[in-house]
Amino acid sequence: MPDVLLSNDDVTVLGPPNTVEVLVDIGPTGTRGSKVFVGSGNPNNLTSSGSIFGQAIILNDLYINISPGTNYGYMYQYLSEPGGNTWIEILALNPTIYNKLHTTTYVDGEASITIPISDIVTVTGSPLTANNFVVQYSISHTHAVASTVTVPALVGDGSNLVLNFKGVEYHPESGPTEWIDLDEEVITHLLISVVESEES
């Protein structure tokens, strides 16, 4: 004799509700997404009472610094930190390139330029070496100039990049093949890029 699996005198069949209500109205406003602000300078110096440029800021908002200088083209994000909410640098939008006209004084054919590395790049990872810098330059002069540049190893705390130059100028007034040491003040056009060293 088979086993009894279900024994019930009542069977209830339920149907759908009499009325189905569909709401097509717009729901309540949610939290807005990230907003990108653009301004001149460090956003921490521009933020007051949770707003910047008169607009409220929320966590994860972004800011791009368009002020020429050390942190030009940096993107910041508004993040929660142990000391409170603050703008943190997260990305450099422009390649790390240093362009400047330097007044350079040559004495007996030699000159030197010292540049704070913080003017070129913000170091956030491994310490940089002299091999991380590619230096391109030209010297403004009324005569033809031949020159070389050497970049010695970074010394001390490694906060400065030193460029040592040697230069001579073609001096036609002194003879058809006369080259003499530069011994004057000239303008050096500098273009410095930061690259990954082959020794890394």
**Could you write out the three-class secondary structure of 85-136?**
EEEEEEEECCCCEEEEEEEEECECCEEEEEEEHHHCCCCCCCCCCHHHEEEE
- Burial class, 137, CB count within 10 angstroms (exposed 0-12 / middle 13-18 / buried 19+): middle
**pLDDT, average across residues 37-50:** 90
Which residues pair with residue 169 across a beta bridge? 145, 180
pLDDT tens track for 52-80: 999 999 999 999 988 866 677 789 999 99
Locate the domains of the chain by residue range: 1-94, 97-194
pLDDT above 50 (res 200): no
What was the pLDDT predicted at 123?
65
What was the pLDDT predicted at 86?
94
pLDDT above 60 (res 125): no
Where is average pLDDT lowest: 27-36, 67-76, 110-119?
Answer: 67-76
